[in-house]
């Protein structure tokens, strides 16, 4: 087993972190999941990262000496060349200007690479998932926000300020609804799960009946999950179906904008809604996108497909990045 070049990738999220020991061929040999416990601060989280990495290796009957490199996908802006995290809004102020690659590297005694969490998800899907074999791929992950990662000519596009791929903040409807970033009309404010939830809650407040009131307690501060949305759609709930249709429309417009700019081969769509609803979610998105392609010839060659690696795309991609960067 130790002949293989094992790399460990970690997907660090605001609520949980997932580590995977990944073989050369993309197989996940072992994994470990823990709560992030962001409130305990960076030092504690780095310890939890370290433990989860050892645990993922142990789950594959491996030790630290079997791993060639470690990669971490981090939810915030950072400098991949130095391993310095600029900040992580979801993880708290102890992450401001944190030299994560150095700190975790010292703790583990092996090279650590860091990269944006959405970018590693894109790398995972490109290398071992739905983007395999393409030359260019745009990955769009739709959750409470909308993130993206761009692979061009087989390489992750990081951008001059390491902030490429922010598809969620492309304007799709000038003057439209407010986005979390403070501006208006961005794709995230129109096509994310948060946008669907906003519209559904507004309709319910306006007196329209919706099954969502039965499926969840609307007053306990919890978010509407992809599971609840998918269930409501399946049960024919008009309010959710309308909000979903709007979100699909705007996601289609976003994709068309990216296609008209980049003309890529494949757009990989990930996130809970695609995972649960598959083509029922993607087919209307494809139809809208295609309508807006300025080049209508060979339009069917632009594939819009579901992500293949589910929750593991980030951890697998982080392992790929680690392997690439450790030479």
What residues line the site for a second copy (CB under 8 A)?
77, 86, 135-136, 148, 150, 152-153, 157-176, 181, 183, 185-186, 190, 249-250, 253-254, 256-258, 260-265, 291-292, 294-295, 297-298, 301-302
User: Between 72 and 187, whose beta carbon lies closer to a second copy?
Assistant: 187
Burial of residue 300, with CB atoms counted within 10 A of its CB: 0-12 exposed, 13-18 middle, 19 or more buried: exposed
Q: In angstroms, what is the minimal distance from the CB of 42 to a second copy?
A: 20
Q: Which pair of tokens denotes residue 254? A: 């976003």
Q: Considering the complex, what minimum distance in angstroms separates the CB of residue 259 from a second copy?
A: 9
C-beta of residue 17 within 8 angstroms of C-beta of residue 55: no
- For a second copy, give the closer residue by CB, 91 or 267: 267
Q: Whose Cβ is closer to a second copy: residue 67's or residue 289's?
A: 289
Judge whether 317 and 268 are in contact, CB under 8 Å.
Answer: no
Query: Is 205 or 301 the residue whose CB approaches a second copy more closely?
Result: 301
d(CA 197, CA 240): 9
Q: Give the C-alpha separation, 325 to 304, whole Å.
A: 29
Q: How far is the CB of 166 from a second copy (least distance, A)?
A: 4
Question: Beta 266-270 vs 67-74: how paired, if at all?
Answer: unpaired
Residue 212 or 258: the one with the smaller Cβ distance to a second copy is 258
Whether the CB-CB separation of 318 and 28 falls below 8 Å is answered with: no
Please state the closest distance from residue 325 (CB atom) to a second copy, in A.
18
Q: How far is the CB of 194 from a second copy (least distance, A)?
A: 16
| Element holding 266 (H helix, E strand) | strand 266-270
Q: For residues 115 and 287, what is the distance between their CA atoms, to the nearest angstrom?
A: 33
Considering the complex, what minimum distance in angstroms separates the CB of residue 181 from a second copy?
Answer: 6
The least distance separating a second copy from the CB of residue 75, rounded to whole angstroms, comes to 14
Of 316, 326, 324, the residue nearest 72 (C-alpha): 316
Reference 33, options 216, 15, 256, 272; nearest CA is 15
Spatial distance between the Cα atoms of 219 and 193, rounded to a whole number of angstroms:
18
Region for 6 from its dihedrals, namely left if φ exceeds 0, alpha if ψ lies in -120 to 50, beta otherwise:
beta
Closer of 54 and 249 to a second copy (Cβ): 249
Query: Do 74 and 85 meet the contact criterion of CB atoms below 8 Å apart?
Result: yes
Work out how close the CB of 48 gets to a second copy at its nearest, in angstroms, rounded to a whole number: 28
Using the minimum distance from each CB to a second copy, give the nearer residue, 41 or 76: 76
Question: Smaller CB distance to a second copy: residue 154 or 310?
Answer: 154
């Amino acid at each position: 087993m130790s002949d293989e070049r094992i790399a460990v990738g970690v997907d660090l999220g605001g609520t949980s972190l997932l580590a995977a020991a990944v073989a050369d061929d993309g197989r996940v040999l072992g994994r470990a999941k823990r709560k992030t416990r962001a409130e305990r601060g960076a030092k504690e989280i780095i310890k939890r990262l370290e433990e989860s990495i050892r645990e993922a290796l142990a789950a594959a009957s491996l030790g630290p000496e079997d791993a060639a490199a470690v990669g971490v996908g981090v939810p915030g802006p950072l400098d991949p060349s130095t391993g310095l995290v600029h900040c992580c809004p979801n993880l708290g102020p102890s992450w401001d200007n944190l030299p994560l690659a150095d700190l975790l590297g010292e703790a583990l005694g092996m090279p650590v690479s860091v990269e944006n969490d959405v970018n590693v998800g894109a790398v995972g899907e490109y290398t071992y998932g739905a983007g395999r074999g393409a030359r260019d791929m745009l990955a769009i992950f739709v959750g409470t926000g909308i993130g993206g990662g761009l692979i061009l000519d087989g390489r992750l596009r990081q951008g001059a300020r390491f902030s490429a791929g922010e598809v969620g903040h492309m304007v799709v409807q000038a003057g439209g609804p407010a986005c979390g970033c403070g501006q208006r009309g961005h794709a995230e404010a129109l096509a994310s799960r948060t946008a669907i939830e906003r519209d559904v809650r507004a309709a319910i407040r306006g007196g329209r009946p919706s099954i969502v009131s039965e499926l969840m307690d609307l007053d306990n501060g919890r978010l509407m999950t992809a599971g609840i949305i998918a269930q409501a759609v399946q049960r024919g709930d008009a309010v959710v179906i309308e909000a979903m249709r709007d979100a699909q429309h705007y996601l289609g417009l976003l994709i068309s904008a990216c296609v008209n700019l980049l003309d890529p081969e494949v757009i990989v769509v990930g996130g809970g809604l695609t995972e649960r609803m598959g083509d029922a979610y993607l087919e209307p998105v494809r139809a809208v996108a295609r309508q807006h392609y300025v080049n209508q010839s060979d339009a069917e060659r632009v594939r819009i497909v579901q992500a293949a690696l589910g929750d593991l795309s980030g951890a697998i991609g982080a392992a790929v990045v680690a392997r690439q960067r450790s030479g």
